[in-house]
Amino acid sequence: MPIIAKGLEGVIANSTSLSDVRGDEGKLLYEGYNINELAGHVSFEEVIHLLWHGRLPTAAELLRLHEELADERELPEEVVDFILCAPKNANPMDVLRTGISMLGLYDSKGGKDSLDPTDSLKYLRAASITAKMSVIAAYYHRARQGKDLPPINKELTESEHFLYLLEGKIPSQEAAETLDVCYVLHADHGMNASTFSARVTISTLTDIYSAVTSAIGTLKGPLHGGANEGVIQMLQEIGEESNVTAWLDKTLLEKKKIMGIGHRVYKTLDPRAPHLRAMAFQMCEGLGENKWMKMAERIASLMKEKKGLNANVDFYSAIVYYSLGLPTDMFTPVFSIARVAGWTAHILEQLADNRIYRPLSEYIGPEEGKKVIPISQRE
């Protein structure tokens, strides 16, 4: 008998070896590795290899992956032209979505059968999209400020290269390492909304560009990737630590959502949150600006006390990104740059054993038997 579950809550839509979100235990695993084993111990590139191939790379394999990603960073001239011409007040996620979609037009190796599960080019396309995501996001941010677009640098890691493109100079080691850990923490997270969107799209045997475009559009939503933008906006609205209690009481009374608090899956602490919390403290102390963390800690403490809810990954990642100097509307693109590792891995996994997604729906409309009234007699 069909099961009705609004939002597919509790429904297992597919199997995966990529990541396991154990909500009751507060654990996140990538291919059997606890996230605590990976964060701060392996690079984002190593995690990309892990998700694509099911194991951490050897030194030689990591070098080859770095070279492959670096070789794929250059954007088609037409995509650069689009970035330069895009409205300066556009949402960066809209530019990223359109830019990735455009890449499909300039894939010289494209074709109907190019995404067959046995296609030797599938990893190259995954690498191409992964490498270009950060370039599109960074180039748009500079273009909307009227700044020049720095040339691609093939010597830098993914986190270093993104920060280099944003600022036009080689970033500090601390900033690059902080962002790299963020990438690792955000690389994959079970069958979340954007990953599911990517798998549904690719299950029709369309192209990888369409699938990633679907995922970006899904992540853009404020109930998914856009949540971290709301955290900083919330802190800015509160203004000072002394205002937290009154603001929170009023907001709860009005039954409004507290951004960055609670999680759909985790019933205990989000395992990624402690890593980001520690980095947020470190970044704020380094800048000599502890105001945001004091406010955040007060909110987290009160929400735990009043509602039994924990701060989630968005709560602290927002402060880390803000401390890195990223504008709030770039938070979700950064999330996309990390999560594309998981999206592409899920796309590859879906293609390896594909079945199109076709759930049922429960019809709740009028009963059969309605008759068509001539248009001249309708009121």
Q: Which residue has the tokens 């990603």?
A: 69
Query: When comparing pLDDT for 41 and 221, which is higher?
Result: 41
Report the C-alpha gap between 97 and 179 in whole angstroms.
22
Least confident segment among 83-92, 152-161, 348-357? 348-357
Which residue is catalytic, options 263, 270, 275, 346? 263
Q: What confidence score (pLDDT) does residue 112 get?
A: 46
Q: Counting Cβ atoms within 10 Å, is residue 170 exposed (0-12), middle (13-18) or buried (19+)?
A: middle
Q: Is 10's pLDDT higher than 90?
A: no
Q: Taking the domain 19-222+328-352, which CATH number applies?
A: 1.10.580.10
**Which residues of the chain form CATH 1.10.580.10?**
19-222+328-352
For the chain, give the number of residues. Answer: 379
The pLDDT of residue 110: 59
Report pLDDT digits (tens) over 40-99. Answer: 999 999 999 999 999 999 999 999 999 999 999 999 999 999 999 999 999 999 999 999
Domain with CATH 1.10.230.10 in the chain: 227-323
Query: pLDDT band for position 1 (50/70/90)?
Result: low
Which pTM does this prediction carry?
0.91
Which DSSP letter does residue 295 get?
H
Establish whether 314 is a catalytic residue. yes
For residue 102, pLDDT beyond 90 = yes
What is the full DSSP assignment across 313-372?
Answer: HHHHHHHHHHHTT--GGGHHHHHHHHHHHHHHHHHHHHHHT-----------SPPS---P
Mean pLDDT in residue range 109-118: 53
Give the pLDDT confidence of 292-315 residue by residue, as tens digits.
888 888 998 898 888 888 888 888
From the candidates 66, 275, 314, 346, which is the catalytic residue? 314
With a cut of 70, say whether residue 349 has pLDDT above it: yes
- Residue 13: CB atoms within 10 A of its CB come to 12
pLDDT band for position 113 (50/70/90)? Answer: very low
Rg of the chain over all Cα atoms, to the nearest angstrom: 22
Does residue 346 carry a catalytic annotation? no
Return the CATH number of 227-323, one of 1.20.58.2240, 3.40.720.10, 3.30.110.30, 1.10.230.10. Answer: 1.10.230.10
| Percent over 70 (pLDDT), the chain | 95
